Amino acid sequence: ETGVTQTPRHLVMGMTNKKSLKCEQHLGHNAMYWYKQSAKKPLELMFVYSLEERVENNSVPSRFSPECPNSSHLFLHLHTLQPEDSALYLCASSQKGAGGGGLAGITYNEQFFGPGTRLTVL
């Protein structure tokens, strides 16, 4: 496997189900991200894990729970979702810190994306 992989690619679940999305990166990166992609809307950053630090978007409901057991794996645990949570969930990774060039006070680190999980909540 190369790059960033995500499983499952498609998921249909009821509002009372509990499921998990998995992401794995094979790039040696130390930062991983979850995004929500809805049609005709900008990508929404949900969570970031970077060097054991977690950053979250305060607008993300608590029914989404991330887990990052190590720098290569990222999970998104789902429970009691709503139909409006149906979307494409993208995982990405990057290398935090030096590397990739940068300006004073800013670091550029290209994010590499997985293929996404298409989630449908009935």
Partner 1 sequence: AQTVTQSQPEMSVQEAETVTLSCTYDTSESNYYLFWYKQPPSRQMILVIRQEAYKQQNATENRFSVNFQKAAKSFSLKISDSQLGDTAMYFCAFMAGRRSNYQLIWGAGTKLIIKP
Q: With binding defined as CB under 8 A, does residue 108 bind partner 1? A: yes
CA distance 33 to 48: 4
Q: With binding defined as CB under 8 A, does residue 3 bind partner 1? A: yes
Residues of this chain, 39-58, that bind partner 1 according to CB under 8 A:
40-43, 45, 48, 50, 55
Beta bridge partners of 26: none
Tokens found for residue 84: 């409006």
Pattern of binders to partner 1 over 6-45, x per CB under 8 A?
-------------------------x--------xxxx-x
Query: Are 4 and 24 in contact, with CB atoms under 8 Å apart?
Result: yes
Query: Are 66 and 22 in contact, with CB atoms under 8 Å apart?
Result: no
CA distance 56 to 39: 22
CB of 71 to partner 1, least distance (A): 15
Site for partner 1, rule CB under 8 A: 3-4, 31, 40-43, 45, 48, 50, 55, 90, 92, 94, 96-97, 101, 103-111, 113-116
